[in-house]
A and B are shown apart, each in its own frame.
Chain A
Amino acid sequence: MGVDRTVMPAVGADPAFLFPAIERHKLSNGLDVRVVTHGDLPILSLAVTVPGGSSSDPAGRHGLAGVVADMVDEGTGGLDAIQVSEALAAIGADYDVEVGADATVFTLTTLARFADRGATLLADMVTRPRLHEADFARVRQLRRDRINQLKDVPAAVAERAFLQVLYGGHPYGHTAIGDDVALASLSLEDVAGAHRALYGPVGSTVVVTGGLPAEELRAIAERGFGGWVTSGASAPAAPAPHDPVRSDPRLALVPRRAAQQSELRIGRLAAPRRTPDYFPLVVMNAVLGGQFVSRINLKLREEKAFTYGARTGFDWRRGVAPLALYTSVHTASTAEAVADALREFDALRGERPVAARELELAKASLTRGYPQNFQTVSQVARAVGQLALYELPHNYFTNFGSSVHAVTADEVTRVARSYLDPSTLTVLVVGDESVAAPLSALGLPPLETLAV
């Protein structure tokens, strides 16, 4: 009855994967509506994408898009902030908002029998927020207090400093929460103006997914959002910000006295989401640091035990996105970890190019597990929203596997040579100042110390 333990079982043929059909409709007010029948549970998810993300923040107003998004559940029509939340709770809703660099996405998941109540409520919130002064004052103060608290969170300090160092004054050079000086200067009129300019039906997308027929899902979207009228200077989807000026590589330290670990970022500006290099880059990243078994994690965690984990990845945007290593390493090992990581970036360019076995592993892990990303209604709604944001075709998910499999070893080496040259990489460390001397000895650009 026992099993042969000398031979690992072979994996069978990959199950076929077809992303469910996406139906697309343009409402008479110009709104892009996409519906997907998914699953058989009486659950429904709506995802509204508006083209106002943190990159739409004007200079001196960093954090504005985040405040606008926060005001969306602070009252609409006859409901005040608390009553909005009570209305969400009464339909068992999960409500979420995410302010990205290019867009803001609102998601609401509810029971199918509350579909119309959910769609109407979400539409009222997004399109007609009350924008009262007292709510604005409270929301702004909470965000200023949060900025203050984030000074003690090493990963947040690193994220903020890394974007600044890479992008400088470019619209991608700040985080969505913005900065305290800018928030202090905001007025309610700034918020109302940004809402008028960015939150219109033209350029926005509503995705509805759930276990209902497509025509019902469409009707739910239409009843909820058909009355959304352009409130002002509503424009088509914001153009991708101009390409940032390529910055010189830097070595920067943000001091954190007596830190037990150094929060580490190593990377550069890489490519926009729609780059023709996308699939070779995705495969390259899986080899370099995108997975547990990738080269950098095996080196820094499994061989050296410098860290709990290390990963690389792209923070994709419509414009040029960063590629970076994200990790936190023991203070005493900081310089050695940086040197080891840079060696791995470099090796993939030619000294140790991707091996056939590695390439196969990277492709298989990217493609075979892919259907797992689309189990819940909110996963599917968000995914379809991404198609709209990045202007990708409807068959994108179904074709993902064949696109990955088409990538060759030569292409991986080619993009590695273009994107992984250590002399183009910026190193940012949030850690104790004792790491400065060993970092300075690595032969990198001169160490700069940044204020928080």
Chain B
Amino acid sequence: MSASGGFLDLPFAKRTLANGLDVIVHEDHRVPVVGVNLWYRVGSRNERPGRTGFAHLFEHLMFEGSAHHDSGYFAPLQHAGAQVNGSTSADRTNYWEVVPTSAVDLALWMESDRMGYLLPALSHGRFETQRNVVLNERRQSYENRPYGLALMALMAALFPFDHPYRWPTIGDRADIEAMQFEDVQAFFRTYYGPANASLVLAGDIDTARGFDLAEQYFGDLPGGTRPAPVMVGAAALGSERRILLEDRVQLPRVYFAWHSPAMFEPDDAELDLVGDLVANGKTSRLYRSLVYEDRIALDVSAAQQSRAMTSVFVLTATAAPGRSLSDVAARIDVALTRLASDGPDEAEMERSRAQIESHFLYRLQTVGGFGGKSDQLNAYNVLRGNPGYFQADLSRYQAATRESVRVAAARHLLSSGRVALSVVPAGQAVMALPGSAPIVVS
């Protein structure tokens, strides 16, 4: 392999406590900090129609206090110099602190207290306040933002009404407004026990001490259960479904979305490469033809949005002023057809291999936070059942060939149905792709 080969590794030790909590420790003593990272196997896919937004609401409620520290979660940790945050996706929720080595005990005490003793401190008033904060988050991040509702529209068109990937992680507004306190408490009892969680300590900590501390702070919490994972495959789309959304925007944008293989499944890595090859950055084929040469689009991007049950591949382009989405769409189809017939050339594959190696290496620079080593170990443990998957993950990309990339594009982006969403300026439905049906998202 390459000269960086010896460094491309993410070693760890793992144990599972008697109550079912997975504990993983990774040592890195370069900086006197420790990433404390806790994943719960709960996301918006564990919700149901009419009752959406619960997992994300907990990403707020978990910071409001627990039985033995009955006030804000941030104050003691910020006093210790910690960075603190969390996030929610369809498949999981993560919570993390990056603390000075001297504050690991504090972070574990805090995390274990909210895991074991959140509900005694969860008052109706705190719930109501955070419900309103979430409604403001929804306004800020989606409703009051150009193109902010596009992904919600795509998912609603790709999946039937009861599919767990149909609704947004933040939840439908009506569901957030209708949440009942008792339902919120029940949701916590179901999903937030040690048996449904995975803890990683990465950084300036000895492995033995890491396991001792985990046992000390979490070992006496009742395990609870690990609910069976929700598993629903993709619903097939027979053909192209065209929809349109009017928005407060200046220029029309087209989104194409296809069902694609689940995270880590065959073709998942190849489709990741297809996204880069076709539409990401100035070296991509569509940037060159649409933005650089013909100037009919302002921007173009694509991503294999990998998820646990089934994925979605999304390709987006914004039309230049005076250019039609039909022209843009036709050029996209030409590029996809060509890729599916000829595959990438050798120079494209070489560039892509260099970028893969470097970006896996860049990922090893931080122990904590989003995307740091602790988050990666938890992702592999929770989503793959194997925290040691780092090198196998890298190998998936290194093993990709011109032919495997070509086949993935042909199999998933040509021979099946897709959703084509046009987002157009208000009152300009005529700018949408022909035959698009208006939809309403709120």
Q: A: which residues have CB within 8 A of B? A: 1-3, 5-6, 8-17, 39-43, 73, 81-82, 84-86, 89-94, 109-111, 113, 138, 141-142, 145-146, 148-149, 151-154, 259-261, 291-293, 298, 301-303, 305-308, 328-330, 360-361, 364-365, 367-372, 374-377
Contacts and interface: CB of A to CB of B under 8 A. Distances in A.
Given A8-B69, A307-B136, A42 B31 contact: no
A93 B365 contact: no
Contacts of A361: 75, 78-79
B133 A305 contact: yes
Interface in B204-248: 204, 215-217, 219-220, 248
Pick the 6 closest A-B CB pairs, nearest first: A368-B81, A92-B358, A12-B102, A305-B132, A15-B32, A369-B81
A94 B363 CA distance: 12
Given A12-B103, A138-B292, A145-B298, A367 B136 contact: no
B364 interface: yes
Among B249, B321, B351, find the residue whose CB has the most chain A CB atoms closer than 10 A: B351
Contacts of B82: 368-369
B366 interface: yes
Contacts of B132: 305
A400 B33 CA distance: 18
A14 B7 CA distance: 30
Nearest to B321: A145
Interface residues of B, number: 85
A372 B146 contact: no
20 contacts: A1-B216, A1-B219, A12-B101, A13-B102, A89-B281, A94-B358, A111-B3, A111-B361, A145-B298, A145-B321, A151-B250, A152-B249, A152-B250, A259-B144, A303-B129, A307-B136, A330-B139, A375-B31, A375-B367, A377-B365
Interface stretch (B106-114, B192-200, B396-404, B430-438): B106-114
Contacts of B362: 43, 94, 109, 376
B144 A261 contact: yes
Contacts, number: 223
A41 B363 CA distance: 11
A174 to B, nearest CB: 20
Interface in B350-378: 350-352, 354-355, 357-359, 361-362, 364-368
A89 B355 contact: yes
B98 interface: yes
Contacts of B320: 141, 145
Interface of B: 3-4, 7, 30-33, 67-69, 72, 74-76, 78-84, 98, 100-103, 105-106, 109-110, 112-113, 117, 128-133, 135-137, 139-141, 143-146, 204, 215-217, 219-220, 248-251, 281-283, 288, 291-292, 295, 298, 320-321, 347, 350-352, 354-355, 357-359, 361-362, 364-368
A152 B248 contact: yes
A184 to B, nearest CB: 13
B39 to A, nearest CB: 21
Contacts of A291: 74, 78
A365 B215 contact: no
Contact of B282 (A85, A110, A308, A369): A85
Given A3-B112, A42-B7, 20 more contacts: A1-B219, A3-B217, A8-B68, A8-B110, A14-B81, A41-B365, A82-B292, A89-B281, A90-B354, A110-B358, A138-B292, A145-B298, A148-B251, A291-B74, A302-B133, A305-B136, A306-B136, A369-B82, A372-B81, A376-B362
A15, A81, A110, A141 interface centre (most CB from chain B within 10 Å): A15
Question: Chain B interface secondary structure, helix, strand, loop or mixed?
Answer: helix
Contacts of A306: 136
Which of B68, B110, B140, B357 has the most C-beta atoms of chain A within 10 angstroms of its own C-beta? Answer: B140
A329 B136 contact: yes
Most buried by A among B133, B204, B220: B133
A73 B281 CA distance: 12
B109 A3 contact: yes
Contacts of B131: 305
B278 to A, nearest CB: 14
A371 B109 CA distance: 23
Given A111-B357, A145-B321, A372 B31 contact: yes
